[in-house]
Amino acid sequence: MENNNPRLLAVQVLSRVAKGSYSNLTLDGTLRKAHLDPRDAGLLTNIVYGVIQRQLTLDFFIAPFIRGKKVDDWVLVLLRTAVYQMKYLDKVPTRAIFYDSTEIAKKLGHAGVAKFVTAILHRMDREGFPKIENIKDPAERLATGSSTPLWLTSKLIKQLGMVQASAILDSIDTAPNGVLRVNRTKTKRDDLAKVLSDRFPDLHDSIVSPVALVTPGGHLAGTDEFRAGEYTLQDESSQLVAPSLRLRPSDKVLDACAAPGGKTTHIAEYLDPAQGGKVTALDLHAHKVKLVAQNAARLGLADRVDAMTLDARKAQDEFAAGSFDRVLVDAPCSGLGLIRRKPEIKYEKTQQDIDNLSRIQKDILGSVADLVKPGGYLTYSTCTMVTEENQGVVTDFLAKHPNYKQVEVAKDAALSLQHSEPALQLFPSDYGTDGFFIASLQRTE
């Protein structure tokens, strides 16, 4: 078997991901080294992300054929890749899956492992897989079918109801769209769409953001227009944050958790440096602050952005009370709204992570409260879907800061699907975006 066989590479990538490597970085590095033709590169990518997205479902299918027998981690990964292809890829012949799986077992193990793998695959083909619909408990059935840990599935059912939780979890195994945000200081959406149409024929307007263009596939960061700063990459739901701040050209803005700078540069587009408009962008890590500055420079917005290394929880030590017209806290969070884009998140996070993050979120929000001028606005946002990190944090903040009130989130697009008013919560099942939460708070005195 050749070393650049896409099924062999998929097993190697997934084995490294199982040991803690990032799926996107590991896959990108493998693709660069392997020099695959487009068809094989597509198969490799499909298997890697498909197996990660459906890992728990695949294990449910495999379990009765192993019957509790201990197998090496890489053998389990190999079986997952084979079952994924058998269940979810229509155009892959079963004989090709069986042959390559056996050869991979020989290459990575020995003849005995190959015999074991071959026997299991033939039994699966002969006897068929267990049926998810036969699982009696509704939460367990949804968890298994959507490949989501039971604790997280049960939490979403408890907080959102079975109908909403099912809609979300049934939607997350589709591939995410590519999304760009037009840099309005350099071009217009219609003009950019026309320029890019030869390379992205399916590019179309977003209904969530008036400055977003969406495409089901393609490498949006690989164009001359991207390098020239005519657009940046940012999910549609994330593009709702800057409008929520009700920005004016002369505003002084603090972006307290800024890296890598997508929202910072969006805020900067609303500001006029000639009128004093400026956004101060903070991040805990110096290398991430550098990313913010690089993004601002590429987009031609560096004269409106001050990027600096600072823990947002210490912002009140650096800036005087009432220094800013607007403050954004796009808080570190569990990222559970990004499951479609980063499927391994759902296996990694725990309730303890959520509890710890909730405490940090409350600390950050409290630390910037006095920096907002009376009458100014404070936006709190996350890319997650659980109450503890969203309205729970806002409610705690309002109880401790009676000089603030929660107001409706300002938007520049009409959204028929949204939740948690006066906050704005989007779920991945609403518009095919990332899940996102935004709350708008006004300082009254």
Binding site feature residues: 257-263, 283, 311, 330
Distance, CA of 166 to CA of 157 (rounded, Å)? 8
Question: φ and ψ at 280, to 5 degrees?
Answer: -95, 120
Q: Tell me whether residue 333 is one of the annotated catalytic residues.
A: no
What are the backbone dihedrals phi and psi of residue 206, each rounded to the nearest 5 degrees, phi first? Answer: -80, 145
For 122, counting Cβ atoms within 10 Å of its Cβ (0-12 exposed, 13-18 middle, 19+ buried), the class is exposed
CA torsion sign for 293, 299, 301, 305 is negative
Degrees to nearest 5, angle at CA 266 with 264 and 267:
65
Binding residues for S-adenosyl-L-methionine: 257-263, 283, 311, 330
**C-alpha dist (Å) from residue 104 to 10, 58, 100, 393:** 11, 19, 6, 49
Enumerate residues 6+ apart whose C-beta is below 8 A from 306.
278, 279, 280, 281
Query: Can you say whether the dihedral through the CA atoms of 362, 366, 369, 371 is positive or negative?
Result: negative
Give the position of tokens 């499909």.
46
Would you tell me how many other CB atoms lie within 10 Å of the CB of residue 340? 22
Tokens 């997280």 identify what position? Answer: 152
Which of the following is catalytic: 31, 79, 383, 423?
383
CA 4/CA 43 separation, integer angstroms: 12
Q: Give catalytic residues, as residue numbers.
A: 383
